[in-house]
Amino acid sequence: HTYIILGIMLFLTIIMYLLFRQYRLNRKSNSQLRQHNTEILQKNEEITAQKEEIETQRNEVERQREILREKSEQLERFNWLITDSIDYASSIQQALLPAKEIFEHYFSDQFIMYFPKDVVSGDFYWAYPKNNTITIALGDCTGHGVPGGFMSMLGISALTELMGRQVEHPSDILDNLRLFIIESLKQEGTIGEHQEGMDISLIRYTKGENYVDFAGANQPLWIAKFDGSGTCSLTEQKGDRMPISYHQRMKPFSSFRISVERGDILYLFTDGYRHQLGGENFNQKFGKSRFIDILTQNAQKPLDDQQSIIEDAFFRWVDGNDQLDDITVIGLKI
């Protein structure tokens, strides 16, 4: 009996050990399962949070896209309004320029090459006919585009007003024009002050006379003359080295009376043509000598042909690159 009892107790002990061991394994397994479930819940919460963040970012992206679309539409409207305004300003500026027919009454031939860099130009030309006398000016205002356009209209308005006040001699016109610009722009020569103004060449010619009166502010007058064999020589009458604006040196402008005869050609121009960069590397100025060569080699031709040649030379020189400044060249044949 003792062995039987011991055997039963041993069996029960083994059973209890196995049950306890299984209990511990189950407990450990349940603990791991709970931990795993907790990790899964955390992952799910992170995924949910990420989804919400992605959704929030997507909504923000959509909102920003909508803002950009609205801004783009506003910019398009502003651009249209600005472009429309500039085009309208250009039409006003063009209307203020003298018609070609005005020059035809006083000169046997003429051309006007007028190339604004932008829609509106800082260059302007102006003419005031009175009986048999015509006064002509070619101005190159500070800047180009809209600022230059405002200055050009100011110049045209001032010149016309001076004619109404019977200021007619070229040097007197420039003296008064300078005073008008200084007073209109309230220039005092202080440091940092904007020095807007213009360079200008101005001639006065009476039909049938053998002279032309000239005054210039940083711009010359070129005269093409021909000898008996038809060979052209180009002479230059320089203007004063002062602008039409406040300047350190403001002496009265000089006036020059230049003898002319039938067949002579007067050339007025702003500096845009000569200063235009071009050449092989787009780093050379067209220059004065090339410009003189074009004029002298073609001076015998009709002025419409001369204009075509000058324009063609410009386009070949630029070769598709940017125009750097407003360009105006005027030819007038006595």
- What does the pLDDT look like over 28-71, one tens digit per residue? 888 888 888 888 889 988 898 899 999 999 999 999 999 999 99
User: 15-30: per-residue pLDDT in tens?
Assistant: 888 888 888 888 888 8
CA angle (22, 26, 27) in 5-degree steps:
115
- Asked if residues 156 and 96 have their Cβ atoms less than 8 Å apart, the reply is yes
Tell me what pLDDT residue 28 has.
Answer: 86
pLDDT at position 189: 76
What pLDDT was estimated at residue 215?
A: 98
Rg (CA), the chain: 42
Nearest to 167, CA basis, from 196, 140, 137: 137
| pLDDT at site 192 | 66
Q: Are 181 and 244 a contacting pair, CB within 8 Å?
A: yes
Give the residue ranges of the chain where pLDDT is below 70: 1, 192-194
Record the pTM: 0.79
**Token couple for 240:** 């004063």
Write down the pLDDT at residue 3.
79
